[in-house]
Structures are given as C-alpha cells and as structure tokens.
Amino acid sequence: MPYASHACIRAVKRAGHEPSIHGTKLWKSSCLIIDYLKKNTPLRRQRILDAGCGWGITGIWCAQQWGSEVVSMDADPAVFPYLDAVAALNGVSTTPWVQRFEKVQKKDLRQTDVLFGGDICFWDELVKPVGTMIDRAIDAGVGTIVIGDPERPTFHQMAEKAIQRHGGELLNWRLTGSVKATGALLVIHND
C-alpha cells in the first residue's frame, strides 16, 4: 500500500497528473473497508464497483485477493494514473470508469456483486447522490454495499436515510496495526 512518498506515486505526480477532487492520497476509510471485507467475505464477489475509488486500493485488494473483476469509478480522471501505478505494484489491473455518483444508473449496476466506497460523502452536496446510488444498487440486486467514513456528519446523514429505506447497519470500526484508523461502516446486505 504505497503512500504519497512512494517512488511510483512521486513519478506519477512528476508526470503532471494532479487530481482535483481530493484524490491526492490514500484515504484510511479504504483500509477500514478492506478489514471488514477480510472478516466478512461476501459469497458473491466476482464483480466489484469501487465508487469514488481515488487510488483504488480497496478494489485492487479485491482483484488481488479474490480475483474479482473490478470497475474503479471516480469523477476525476486524474486519479487513474495513480490507481494504475498502485495496481501495477500489486500485479493486477482494474477497469477505469469516469462517472459521478448521481449519474450511475440501475442498468450500470445489474452485474455488480459488491459496491463499496471510502470517504465518498464528505460534502453536503454528496449526501443525496451517494444515497441515490445506494438506492439504485439495491434495485439492481447488488448483494453487498459497504460505505466507510471517519464519521463526518454528512456520512451519518446519508447512512441514516439509507438504513431507514433499506435496512442494514452502521458499524464502528477500528484498525490498530501498521495502519491506524477509526470510523464507521454503513453495511447493507441485499442477498
């Protein structure tokens, strides 16, 4: 898991790729999601959507550990050179998709087994689009949805609405190993 100081990440930055929507580092909610998925492996996990992927570490982990087909989605195309560098370090690849949460349609999600996103509900303006994406994922039959966050008020607002509509649970999660992180996970099982 490379950080901004890793040689491959510095090389991408020197090449002039500069993300504009906070895709400039590894966000620790991705690590919370990975830990959850390690301990709670979904039965259906062949096709993954990493929404708001940034550097894509969670999807890359799924591709590496499970052999999953991963679509890495982000609104900022400038994150993909970083994602490609991290994927190459891990010996895998993912399919990039430049898209905003509110533009994801039910038909885009029909073949998806797992949808996750880390640190994707950080502005008030993202509460409704992330919630709508979850609604469409449920309608499309996505089996497992996991959204992680360091517990911003906007995340809790979105999560409460999603739980009211679809059930699921809000879990407090903590990592204490080499990566230290705390936060909450919205988990919805739709199998």
Residue 1: predicted pLDDT? 57
Residue 26: predicted pLDDT? 72
Residue 191: predicted pLDDT? 86
How does DSSP assign the chain, residue by residue? ---TTSHHHHHHHHTT---SSS-SS--THHHHHHHHHHHS--S--SEEEEET-TT-HHHHHHHHHH--EEEEEES-GGGHHHHHHHHHHTT---EEEE--GGG--HHHHTT-SEEEEES---SGGGHHHHHHHHHHHHHHT-SEEEEEES--HHHHHHHHHHHHHH--EEEEEEEESSSEEEEEEEEEE--
pLDDT averaged per 10 residues, the chain (length 191): 56 59 70 98 98 95 98 94 92 97 98 97 94 98 98 97 98 92 98 86
Residue 24: predicted pLDDT? 55
Residue 68: predicted pLDDT? 99
Residue 178: predicted pLDDT? 85
What the chain holds in terms of domains, given with CATH numbers, is 7-189 (3.40.50.150)
Residue 141: predicted pLDDT? 98
Residue 179: predicted pLDDT? 86
Residue 171: predicted pLDDT? 99
